[in-house]
Chain A
């Protein structure tokens, strides 16, 4: 089975622009989450989607948004980019089950640099 796939792996944007990152979850996984990792704040949860609906949200401004498609693929968007948005953005997927103790798998991430 292919793992979680994120594109693009690296990108550079200018302040004020917007960016869209893409994530393809593991086949059969319907839950997709996004995380931001910076040296100062570490790994922080952005939001989680299931069945095209945002189910959980972290403490980030409205400039950060996402969506999920019917095939479970997900995108996240950051508008009006700021220098502080430079980070590694990670996507994770999980098989949705009512059996407790499932595993969440991460992709390799998208490195965003804002200049």
Chain B
């Protein structure tokens, strides 16, 4: 699985959109980009994933650049409960590869 690079920490004002970048310049064509977050050392919570196209669900939007070398997770209206460590993971999913390789993530702090 390709390696990812994320900023160590970020702040965002409550109510604003939080934009979390991730660089994955060595991503291959069959690798998916996954985002998870972890709050207060609870279990990681799945947020969203995508391959090529931008994706949106009830939690967030995922914007993947055309060359797929980077992506941005967008939390449209950040709340204090969004304070967490966010992990960007690149995963090649073939039958039998149910493994996630976590990096150090981005510690997002939502400021009141």
Measuring CB to CB, which residues of chain A are less than 8 angstroms from any residue of chain B?
4, 31, 33, 35, 37, 42-45, 48, 50, 55-56, 88, 90, 92, 94, 96, 98, 100-109
Contact = CB atoms under 8 A, between A and B. Distances in A.
Contacts of B41: 37, 88, 109
Contact of B96 (A50, A88, A108, A109): A50
Contact of A90 (B30, B44, B93): B44
B98 interface: yes
A98 B102 contact: no
Nearest to B101: A45
Interface residues of B, number: 24
Interface of A is mostly: strand
B50 to A, nearest CB: 8
Nearest to B96: A55
Contacts of B95: 96, 98
Nearest to B43: A106
The DSSP consensus for interface residues of chain B is loop
Given A96-B95, A101-B49, 8 more contacts: A43-B87, A56-B96, A56-B99, A101-B93, A103-B49, A104-B98, A106-B43, A108-B42
Interface in B20-43: 30, 32, 36, 41-43
Interface centre among B32, B44, B49, B97 (most CB of A within 10 A): B44
Given A50-B96, A56-B97, A98-B95, A43 B46 contact: no
Interface of B: 30, 32, 36, 41-46, 49, 51, 87, 93-104
A32 B44 CA distance: 15
Contact of B30 (A50, A96, A100): A100
B100 A104 contact: yes
